[in-house]
């Protein structure tokens, strides 16, 4: 049955490829590959003006999996080009609603009970329908009003079937000289990973809980309460949000809402997610925000989030500050440091284009960071530079956030929100206590290094004793070497011991640190300076 379904779906996809003019790249005969016609030799798919539109129409026709892939690619103009990315932004979810009977069956199967026993009330009419699931309003036996998201039956199997076919197509298209640079197999692997995260509702539950913890001390931001006992990979139950949709607030002329304040809260809350937490809503458009009483901002729909590791988050802070300062050389150096630009690359033209970009979009309130990052992604594509997925996700989310905030308040300044938070991050990095916050990891690292060093030293001594290794010293410089080595050992011992003492919370303290640690660091600094002076003098 599964093979029959796969064959039928394969025929549908092949028919769509032929319908929209892509069959020639999939179904070429051996003869045409070896002896292409003059027309085939002269034709370039990438120069075809109808390519973006035909791709979008084909993806829309083929349904959920292809629509989701197109929406993902719409965030990567550096990979597929600006025209295709822009066209893919027009893709709409294919969302026919499913019947109440199907919803009831899924809930009872997933939650192991009758829907009448599980919920005091359950609305048969859906509140919203998307390509993967739909939402119904209900009430728990304990009285809480909730929204229940139910995954459409069979959607996971449909996506898995499509992925098998899509990966096969990507492998065939990758053999085309023009298309090889897009790394279609790599794109499919990334899509496979992201779509399986999205269709497992447990991931959304985890995301909600994490974001709730991140804003636990901020009363101006609200994350809907989730009910884990009513959640599975196919059912998600959360607080029903009683508020006003952000889009309605944007369009409202009422004095009920403080739009400039909301614009600031939108920006500040997102910059905290991005630059301090490294965990952010990656689809923060107006449809995924509500405004509650007292202008409290509520985020919903956390099926997918962006996650940045600490290194990338810190590098991103530096990059954003450099962009805000219009520091062209600094931006390029930061890209080199991040491994995005090869240090051997001639950056003369790139500097010129970046300078022009900053002049046009960071002056006189023209454009904004939205335009900056959109144009930056396109510019990188022109230079054949593929940016990390995290950067593309961040740029897309920033674009949405700026759109929401500027619609609330046209005078809002995104850099005004970025700079204070980025400054906090940079300050945290230079704070001594922060530098030592990972002391446990550092101690383990050095312990493991010493464990590896001792066997290596023993093995070296054994080789010397057997005559397998010889060491030659220049006696006239031996005393100088020993002196320098001794100083290094003393500095290292002081630094490590002072760091270990940082764990002490009693006794004399200075700057919230143990006094003995501060003294140790001062002595280490003095010895380091002496060592540098001696080194320079000896030269």
Tabulate helix, strand, coil % of the chain (nearest 5). Answer: 65, 10, 25
Q: What pLDDT, on a 0 to 100 scale, did the predictor assign at position 477? A: 53
* 194 is a domain residue: no
Final residue in a domain of this structure, among 391, 419, 438? 438
Query: Smallest Cα–Cα separation from 195: which of 62, 64, 335?
Result: 64
Domain presence at residue 308: yes
Residues 293 and 258 placed together within one structural domain of the fold:
yes
Residues 137 and 284 in one domain: no
DSSP 99-143: PHHHHHHHHHHHHTS-HHHH-SEEEEEEEEE-SSEEEEEEE-TTS
The helix/strand/coil state of 305 is: strand
Assigned domain for 187 exists? no
3-class DSSP state of 509: strand
Same domain, 78 and 146: no
418, 438, 458 - which closes a domain? 438
The tokens for 394 are: 């961040």
Q: Is the pTM here over 0.95, yes or no? A: no
List the one residue out of 233, 320, 231 whose CA is nearest residue 275: 320
Report how far residue 163's alpha carbon sits from residue 191's, in angstroms, rounded to the nearest whole number. Answer: 9
Residues 6 or more apart whose Cβ sits within 8 Å of residue 480: 538
Neighbours of 291 (CB within 10 A): 26
Question: What pLDDT sits at residue 470?
Answer: 58
Q: What is the CA radius of gyration of the chain?
A: 30
Tally Cβ neighbours within 10 Å of residue 219.
Answer: 9
CA angle, residues 52, 55, 56, in degrees to nearest 5: 85
- Domain of residue 372 covers 245-438
Residues 250, 365 share a domain: yes
Domain assignment present for residue 512? The answer is yes
118 lies in some domain: yes
Name the domain count of the chain.
5
Task: Say if residue 319 is in the same domain as residue 346.
Answer: yes
Residue 113 sits in the same domain as residue 206: yes
Strand-pair category, 133-139 with 221-222: unpaired
| 407 assigned to some structural domain | yes
Question: Which helix (H) or strand (E) element contains residue 254?
Answer: none
Contacts of 238 by beta carbon, 8 Å cutoff, 6+ apart: 146, 147, 149, 208, 224, 225, 226, 227
- pLDDT given at position 50: 83
Query: Can you give the length of the chain in residues?
Result: 539
Query: Would 87 be classed as within a structural domain?
Result: yes
**Cβ neighbour number for residue 286 with a 10 Å cutoff:** 19
pLDDT of residue 104: 96
Residue 333 in domain: yes
* pLDDT the model gives residue 323: 86
Work out whether the CA dihedral 331, 336, 340, 344 comes out positive or negative: positive
Q: What angle do CA 55, 57, 59 make, to 5 degrees?
A: 65
CATH number at residue 224: 3.30.200.20
How far is the C-alpha of 303 from the C-alpha of 195, rounded, in Å?
Answer: 10
**345 and 259 inside one domain:** yes
256 and 383 co-located in one domain:
yes
Is there a single domain that holds both residue 83 and residue 148?
no
Looking at the structure, do residues 223 and 78 belong to the same domain, yes or no? no
Residues 6+ apart with CB under 8 A from 6: 161, 164, 165
Rounded CA-CA distance 149/200 in Å is 12
Q: pLDDT tens for the chain, 539 residues: list them.
A: 567 778 888 889 889 988 888 776 665 543 444 444 444 444 445 556 788 899 999 999 998 899 889 888 887 776 777 788 889 888 876 677 889 999 999 999 999 999 999 999 999 999 988 889 999 999 999 999 999 999 999 999 999 999 999 999 888 888 877 677 777 888 888 889 989 999 999 999 999 999 999 999 999 999 999 999 999 999 999 999 999 999 999 999 888 999 999 999 999 999 999 999 999 998 899 989 999 999 999 999 998 899 998 888 888 888 888 888 889 999 999 888 888 888 888 999 999 999 998 888 777 555 556 567 777 877 887 887 877 778 878 888 888 898 899 999 988 888 778 888 877 877 776 655 555 555 555 555 555 555 665 566 667 666 666 766 555 545 455 456 556 666 667 777 767 766 666 655 555 666 666 767 777 778 877 877 777 777 666 65
Residues 333 and 431 occupy one common structural domain: yes
Q: Let me know whether 420 and 448 are in one domain.
A: no
């Amino acid at each position: 049955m599964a093979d029959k379904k796969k064959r039928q779906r394969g025929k549908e996809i092949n028919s769509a490829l032929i319908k929209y003019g892509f069959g020639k790249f999939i179904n070429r005969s051996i003869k045409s590959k070896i002896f292409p016609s003059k027309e085939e030799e002269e034709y370039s798919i990438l120069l075809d003006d109808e390519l973006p539109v035909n791709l979008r129409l084909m993806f829309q026709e083929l349904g959920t999996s292809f629509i989701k892939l197109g929406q993902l690619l719409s965030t990567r103009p550096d990979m597929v080009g600006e025209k295709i990315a822009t066209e893919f932004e027009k893709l709409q979810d294919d969302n026919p609603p499913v019947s109440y009977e199907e919803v009831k069956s899924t809930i009872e199967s997933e939650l192991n009970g009758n829907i009448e026993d599980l919920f005091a009330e359950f609305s048969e009419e859906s509140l919203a329908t998307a390509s993967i699931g739909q939402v119904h309003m209900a009430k728990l036996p304990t009285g809480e009003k909730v929204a229940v998201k139910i995954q459409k039956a069979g959607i996971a199997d449909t996506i898995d079937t499509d992925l098998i076919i899509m990966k096969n197509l990507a492998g065939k298209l990758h053999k085309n000289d023009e298309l090889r640079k897009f790394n279609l197999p790599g794109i499919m692997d990334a899509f496979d990973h992201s779509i399986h995260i999205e269709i497992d509702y447990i991931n959304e539950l985890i995301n909600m809980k994490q974001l709730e913890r991140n804003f636990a001390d901020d009363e101006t931001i609200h994350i809907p309460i989730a009910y884990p006992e009513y959640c599975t990979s196919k059912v998600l139950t959360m607080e029903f949000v009683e508020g006003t949709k952000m889009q309605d607030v944007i369009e409202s002329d009422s004095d009920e809402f403080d739009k400039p304040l909301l614009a600031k809260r939108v920006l500040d809350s997102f910059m905290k997610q991005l630059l301090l937490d490294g965990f952010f809503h990656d689809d923060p458009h107006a449809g995924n925000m509500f405004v509650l009483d007292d202008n409290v901002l509520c985020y919903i729909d956390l099926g997918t989030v962006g996650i940045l590791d600490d290194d990338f988050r810190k590098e991103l802070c530096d990059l954003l500050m450099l962009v805000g300062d219009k520091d062209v050389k600094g931006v390029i150096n930061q890209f080199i440091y991040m491994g995005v630009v090869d240090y051997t690359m001639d950056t003369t033209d790139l500097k010129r284009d970046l300078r022009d970009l900053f002049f046009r979009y960071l002056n006189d309130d023209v454009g904004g960071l939205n335009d900056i990052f959109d144009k930056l992604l396109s510019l990188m594509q022109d230079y054949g530079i593929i940016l990390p997925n995290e950067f593309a996700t961040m740029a897309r989310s920033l674009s949405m956030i700026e759109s929401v905030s500027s619609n609330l308040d046209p005078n809002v300044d995104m850099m005004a929100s970025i700079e204070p938070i980025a400054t906090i991050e940079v300050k945290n990095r230079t704070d001594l206590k922060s530098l030592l916050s990972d002391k446990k990891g550092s101690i383990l690292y050095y312990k493991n290094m010493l464990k590896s060093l001792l066997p290596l030293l023993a093995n070296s001594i054994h080789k010397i004793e057997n005559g397998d290794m010889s060491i030659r010293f220049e006696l006239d410089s031996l005393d100088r070497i020993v002196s320098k080595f001794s100083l290094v050992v003393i500095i290292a011992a002081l630094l490590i011991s002072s760091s270990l003492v940082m764990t002490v919370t009693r006794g004399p303290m200075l700057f919230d640190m143990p006094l003995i640690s501060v003294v140790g660091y001062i002595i280490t600094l003095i010895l380091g300076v002496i060592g540098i002076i001696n080194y320079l003098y000896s030269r």
